[in-house]
Amino acid sequence: MNKPLRRIAIFCGLLVLALLIRDNWIQYVQADGLREDPDNRRVAIARYATPRGDIIVGGDPITGHATTSSGDFKYKRTYKNGAMWAPVTGFVSQAYGANQLENIEDGILTGNDDRLFFRNTLDMITGKEREGGNVVTTLNAAAQKAAYNGLKERGKGAVAAIEPSTGKILALASYPSYDPSTIAGGSESDAEAWKKLDKKNNPDDPMLNRALREVYPPGSTFKVVTAAAALEDGLYTDPDAKTNSPLPWIMPGTTTPLKNEGNIPCENATLREALRVSCNSVFGKIGSDLGNDKMLEEAKKFGFTSEQFTPVRSSASVFSDGMNKSQTALSSIGQYNTAATPLQMAMVASAIANDGTLMKPYMVDELQAHSVDPVEKTEPEKLSEPLSAKNAQILQSMMETVVKEGTGTRAQIGGDVTVGGKTGTAQHGENNSKNPYAWFLSYAKLADNSSPVAVAVVVEDDAAVRDDISGGGLAAPIAKSVMEAVINSKK
């Protein structure tokens, strides 16, 4: 072969080699990126070409699908009682993507998950149209309804309920809410609905998942964490012995007394009495005496400072480091920098009810193929042990006193059901200028000493008369209805 032909042959060979390299690069390296590219319309068309699987509560689907009359997409998502379930499901939209369970479990719901490969292959061989799988949740429909309706009467707030022995989330409600069906398509009406849900156009922010993503000052409900820290440290061991709690108590490094509400009996009050009437001076001094490090350590054991994945992400609750004794005192009564999600406070109640063991909260019980064959099952998992069984039972007895004869009497259920709880009224706004948040956390115990449910409720009632706002008055009745719904569903 002469020299010019050899050069041409080498050049052609290099071109072929470059083509092969480029082809393999696209098919094997860039394939996932191209497939997931939001601008790849073929992917979107394929996504909505088959029915989407369902999200299941108590054996019944709370989602569905409908055919569209125009455009490239054959199906769109529908929701049953969409506003009630939005904090659980999230949304999936032809125009705006997806979030929460709809996004996290998208592979199962669309049928594209690798774990469905053999089932999809079999369907392809038999000529059956591919279908999405199901997401089976841990939610209790009656509890969710009680939570949502209770909040709806109050105007704004959130509820989280957990089964203490497993960590199963039984209710997760947020109000105001929205119906994901209104934004599921790609029409002008969907665009208009999306615009109305935007926080810039709607200050109530109905798409905010208050149960998981909003952190509130927990107020006096945090005193159960402070009580747990005192018991675990050995600062106090007998709930009925007097504490070293002078009145007034001047916060260290200041000339400012930590005041209590009204003329309640807080001087040297026992732990039980201090929790029953909610003494700021007693629990503030406990936090100051223990110090920032010990209080932070105990708060972390309950889940503070860490995000939770249920699998939907929950914001990290806050208990600060590097505080002086006065700042620690204020934080120990749920003020200053302390902030918590409703899920976090439900975790606190759950750990106490479960004799000191905190289980990891989760809301997906099982993933299924469309044939309902199980793909993955969630097993309960221990997260931590914030307090010993002995100290947990002491704290239970203190919380039960709060409900029997303290600030939480409106949560009483009666019969063979024992309720433990703690109220909270948290300051809100600069210089406490806005209506405070009303809190209540609780658990219910049956005659066999099992605890089927722990609940946290926060109410943001902007319309209420300020002097009428209390955790016992606004939030406790909602918690009671949620607990009763869970208990009745087990009969």
pLDDT in tens, 205-259: 999 999 999 999 999 999 999 999 999 999 999 999 999 999 999 999 999 999 9
Contact between 51 and 128 under an 8 Å Cβ cutoff? The reply is no
The pLDDT of residue 20 is 78
Number of C-beta neighbours around residue 96 at 10 A: 15
pLDDT digits (tens, 9 = 90+) for 306-341: 999 999 999 999 999 999 999 999 999 999 999 999
State the alpha helices, DSSP H only, in 105-261: 106-110, 117-126, 141-154, 188-197, 210-213, 223-233
Phi and psi of 331, rounded to 5°? -65, -30
Contact 406, 272 (CB under 8 A): no
Top mean-pLDDT range of 85-89, 106-110, 186-190, 461-465: 85-89
Instruction: Please write the tens of the pLDDT for every residue from 287-305.
Output: 999 999 999 999 999 999 9
274 HSE (CA, 13 A, CB side) = 33
Residue bearing the bigger pLDDT, 125 or 488: 488
Give the Cα separation of 163 and 181 in Å (integer): 30
65-68 long-range contacts, CB within 8 A, separation 24+: 68/185
Which residue(s) pair with 439 in the sheet? 424, 458
- Average pLDDT of the chain, as a whole number: 90
**Can you tell me the distance from the alpha carbon of 360 to that of 351, in angstroms, rounded to the nearest whole number?**
10
Tell me how far apart the alpha carbons of residues 173 and 62 are, in angstroms, rounded to a whole number.
15
Single-letter amino acid code for the residue at 161: A
CB atoms within 10 A of CB 228: 25
Neighbours of 337 (CB within 10 A): 13
More confident residue, 2 or 264: 264
Gap between the Cα atoms of 102 and 361, Å rounded? 19
- DSSP label at residue 25: I
Report d(CA 315, CA 215) in Å as an integer.
7
Per the annotation, the verdict on 220 as an active-site residue is yes
pLDDT-based confidence at residue 358 (cuts at 50, 70, 90): very high
Question: Is residue 384 within 8 Å of 433, Cβ to Cβ?
Answer: no
Per annotation, catalytic residue among 93, 174, 181, 220: 220
CA distance 478 to 481: 5
Cα separation, 51 vs 65, whole angstroms: 6
pLDDT grade, residue 141 (50/70/90)?
A: very high
What residue spans define the domains of the chain?
212-364+383-489
- Superfamily in which the 212-364+383-489 domain is placed by CATH: DD-peptidase/beta-lactamase superfamily (3.40.710.10)
Q: How many CB atoms lie within 10 A of CB 430?
A: 6
- What mean pLDDT do residues 32-49 have? 68
Rg (CA), the chain: 27
Whole-Å CA distances, 248 to 190, 213, 244, 284, 432: 59, 37, 12, 12, 22
Smallest CA-to-CA distance from 424 within 145, 139, 141, 216 is with: 216
For residue 308, report the phi and psi dihedrals to the nearest 5 degrees. -115, 145
Q: What is the pTM of this model?
A: 0.89
